[in-house]
Structure formats: C-alpha cells, structure tokens
Amino acid sequence: MIEFADFARVDMRVGRIVEVRPFPEAHKPAYQLRIDFGPEFGERQCSAQLTVTYPDPSTLIDRQVVAVVNFPPRSIAGFASEVLVLGAMGEAGQVWLLQPGPAAPVGARIG
C-alpha cells in the first residue's frame, strides 16, 4: 500500500493532443505526441503505444487526455518523452486513453 501523501505527489493534468507522428524508431509500435497543457506547463511531448487501439493517428488530434507531468523525461529511441499519458491497458496491446468527460479546461489538475 502507498500513503495518500505519495499519491498526492503525482501531478496529473488534462492536456489536448495537438500533433501525432509515427515513431518507427521505437522498439514497440508507438506514436510521438505533442500535448498542450495550457499556459502553466505549455506543450510537452511523449511517446505512447497507442497504435493498436488508435490505428488512425488523425483520430487522436484534439482529444483530451490525462497525463503525469512531473516525472523526469525518459529517452525512448533517442526521443525525450516528457510526460506519461494514462490509459486502461488490455491484454492484446490495447490502450484506451483516459479522458475527462465532459471536456475539462486544459491544464486542470486531476485529484
């Protein structure tokens, strides 16, 4: 078990995907995402293994997501992944993105 204080240190925010690019250099099929988190955090980039559930990358543009914004960047195939996008994970490689509904303000803190 973790303490509530541990959970409270994880900074999760609402973002909006503004750009999606293929990421052929990644070890597992993935996209490079650019996500807008509003004026406080600006745009951040990440790698996300979403190709099984979202085979058409254009369906991700303007989609709201929930992401952890205070992890240190990770280098994935030479690409700096700056945030961790959250999703429900299936056994066959599916990832269903978590998103607020109805739409929440970009940059809103998840708590």
> Residues near 65 by Cβ (< 8 Å), separated by ≥ 6?
14, 15, 16, 17, 35, 85, 86, 97, 98, 99
**Confidence category of residue 38, pLDDT binned at 50, 70, 90:** very high
**Confidence category of residue 39, pLDDT binned at 50, 70, 90:** very high
Strand partners, 43: 36
Domain count, the chain: 1
Q: Is residue 106 domain-resident?
A: no
**Confidence category of residue 33, pLDDT binned at 50, 70, 90:** very high
- The residue range of the domain holding 61 is 4-100
> Residues near 47 by Cβ (< 8 Å), separated by ≥ 6?
23, 26, 30, 31, 32, 33, 76, 77, 79, 81
**CATH at 9:** 2.40.50.140
Over residues 53-84, the pLDDT tens digits come to 999 999 999 999 999 999 999 999 999 999 99
What is the model's pLDDT at position 95? Answer: 96
Q: Is residue 31 domain-resident?
A: yes
- In one-letter notation, the amino acid at residue 93 is G
Q: Is residue 44 domain-resident?
A: yes
Cα separation, 49 vs 69, whole angstroms: 18
Q: Is residue 59 domain-resident?
A: yes
Q: Is residue 109 domain-resident?
A: no
The whole-chain average pLDDT of the chain stands at 96
